[in-house]
């Protein structure tokens, strides 16, 4: 894929909107890989040592865990970033990501990220941290709602 095509895709991704046009061009020139996944194909598998970051460009994917594969934890749509936990923490994958429709995703490895200018790295890291905080807040809200529902059912049935 040409740098200009990658640049157009990157401009629409939330975590990259903090980058200047020059920084976006530098990112577009880096060794990112566009990958196609078929429906029902695993993109990420829980427990794997895979430290790459993904951006879903087209299609739909779901997130689940091995402990309860039938429970969908999240549905990913174009523009969503995933794989950020392992990418940041350098730890094994914490969940599975499965394509539900054919998916096109941009993939970046740690070496590519480390080759970026430090200012670009810091901006992207800050956006990834904001994303993690948002997801943590949503999880906390879900836990509070579940506990409230459980308490209601326990005392009113």
List, for residues 30-84, the tens digit of each pLDDT value: 877 889 999 999 999 999 999 899 999 999 999 999 999 899 999 999 999 999 9
The whole model's pTM is what? 0.81
Residue ranges of domains in the chain: 3-156
3-156: CATH topology: Jelly Rolls (2.60.120)
Residue 37 gets which letter from DSSP? E
Q: Tell me whether residue 81 is exposed, middle or buried, using C-beta atoms within 10 angstroms of its C-beta: 0 to 12, 13 to 18, 19 or more.
A: buried
Query: Which SS3 state, helix, strand or coil, does residue 23 take?
Result: helix
Cβ-contact 97, 42 below 8 angstroms: yes
CA-CA distance, 56 to 29, in Å (whole number)? 19
């Amino acid at each position: 894929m040409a740098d200009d095509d990658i640049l157009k895709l990157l401009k629409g991704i939330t975590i990259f909107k903090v980058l200047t046009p020059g920084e976006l061009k530098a990112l577009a020139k880096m060794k990112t890989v566009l990958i196609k996944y078929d429906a029902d194909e695993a993109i990420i598998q829980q427990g794997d040592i895979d430290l790459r970051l993904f951006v879903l460009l087209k299609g739909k994917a779901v997130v689940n865990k091995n402990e309860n594969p039938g429970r969908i934890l999240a549905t990913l749509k174009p523009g969503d970033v995933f794989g950020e936990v392992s990418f940041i923490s350098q730890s094994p994958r914490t969940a599975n990501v499965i394509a539900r429709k054919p998916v096109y995703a941009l993939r970046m490895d740690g070496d590519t990220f480390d080759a970026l200018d430090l200012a670009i790295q810091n901006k992207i890291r800050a956006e990834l941290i904001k994303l993690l905080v948002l997801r943590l807040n949503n999880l906390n809200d879900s836990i509070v709602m579940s506990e409230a529902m459980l308490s209601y059912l326990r005392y009113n049935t």
